[in-house]
Amino acid sequence: MVGTAATLFAMALATAGADHNPLFPGADPDAIAACGSWWIFPTTQGMGPRKHVTSRFYGWRSSDLRHWSRTATPILDIRSIRWIDDDHAPTHSLWAPSVISAHGRYYLYYSVGPQNPTPSRIGVAVADRPEGPYVDSGKPLLTGGNGFEAIDPMVFRDPRSGRTYLYAGGSAGATLRVFEMAPDMVSFTREVDVPTPRNFTEGSFMHERGGIYYLSYSHGRFNGPDYSVHYATGPSPIGPFTYRGAILTSDAGHQGPGHHAFLEDPATGRWFIVYHRWDRTDATPPFKGARDVAIEPISYDSAGLIRSVRMTDGPPPIAPAPPGACPKPSEG
């Protein structure tokens, strides 16, 4: 009975989001389809000793892109990361998770701060299911320094070549770096020279559609009205890239949209953008308080360019999650 009671208690702790935009509090969302569900993995705000310190990640799950529930327990807790105190900083934060599946497992990449005076770091943790629990690999994957901030990881597998790349960096250094991942998904084979695109600040994301590769990213200050999503296109995941402009910018009722992910419905070929924003009419920075996660549909013109996105407050389009059970882990 003890186990049953504990399970019921954990289930009671799970929280539900709204069925309309914004969906739930959070920032820096990544989104995937896995194990018969849609998943969003955001930075969980206010989950630490101070309100701005985030010490754990949760996942949000949906069967239709509209109704969301949070995992009852954290998928990763800062206390389980053994190397977290190696820099001797007095406090640490976790943010900007990115999840990808490989070898029947799920790999969670994440940022660890502070960024000053110690260098920021990127870690990676592994689980057998998207909801975790994730077990850290035991060491940082990437450490910042010399003007580079190791933040905002995003991992993309090229459907044409099968190669996997990590995109990272930004903020004060505003520098993008790209690495080809080793098959083990917890190390690199090489760094790839990719010029930092125009108007890049942070929060890069890569997706492919119809042979066009879209490198999108945040521009501006995260807590100001200039925060926005811009993009560039190229013939491969490593470019060369051509800047195409902004697709998501502040409006009268929503400020500072950014740090996003693109999500495809494989049944229909329809694409969505999952992002965070400040729901406020006052555009005076710096913004304070919590950001919220929202979803909007994406459309492309006849040349494959992304049309500007309008932020909404109504329900996102219904999209049944792709069917499928979790794969069994394999070696690799």
Asked if residue 4 has pLDDT above 50, the reply is no
Query: Starting at the edge strand that comes first in sequence, how are the strands of the sheet with 27-34 ordered?
Result: 27-34, 37-43, 60-62, 69-70
Res. 203: pLDDT tops 90: yes
115 pLDDT band, cuts 50/70/90, is confident
Least confident of 153-157, 265-269, 300-304: 265-269
Residue 225 preceded by cis peptide, ω within 30 = no
State yes or no: pLDDT of 53 exceeds 90: no
On the 0-12 / 13-18 / 19+ scale of CB atoms within 10 A, 301 is: exposed
145 DSSP assignment: B
Residue 318 φ/ψ, nearest 5 degrees: -70, 135
Among candidate residues 209, 309, 323, the one with its CA nearest the CA of residue 264:
209
Let me know if domain 2-298 sits in CATH 2.115.10.20: yes
Question: What is the spatial distance between Cα 279 and Cα 112, in angstroms, rounded to a whole number?
Answer: 27
Backbone phi, then psi, for 77, in 5-degree steps? -115, 140
Percent of the chain whose pLDDT exceeds 90: 84
For the ranges 53-57, 107-111, 112-116, 296-300, the lowest mean pLDDT is seen at 53-57
pLDDT score at 195: 96
Contacts for 7 with CB less than 8 Å, ≥ 6 apart: none
Query: Range with the lowest mean pLDDT among 25-29, 89-93, 218-222?
Result: 89-93
Question: What is the token pair recorded at 76?
Answer: 């990763």
- Selection from 131, 176, 181 nearest residue 151 by Cα: 176
The span from the CA of 309 to the CA of 212, in Å, is: 19
- In sequence order, the β-bridge partners of residue 131 are none
Distance CA 199, CA 214 (A): 15
Residues, the chain, total?
A: 332
- Three-class SS of residue 113? strand
Looking at residue 278, its pLDDT comes to 97
Q: CA angle 289-57-328, nearest 5°?
A: 150
Residue 97, pLDDT > 60, answer yes
Higher-confidence residue of 329 and 23: namely 23
pLDDT at 331: 54
Domains of the chain, by residue range, sit at: 2-298
Confidence class for position 15, pLDDT limits 50, 70, 90: confident
Contact 148, 173 (CB under 8 A): yes
SS3 6: helix
pLDDT of 8 strictly over 60: no
Omega before 114 cis (within 30°)?
Answer: yes
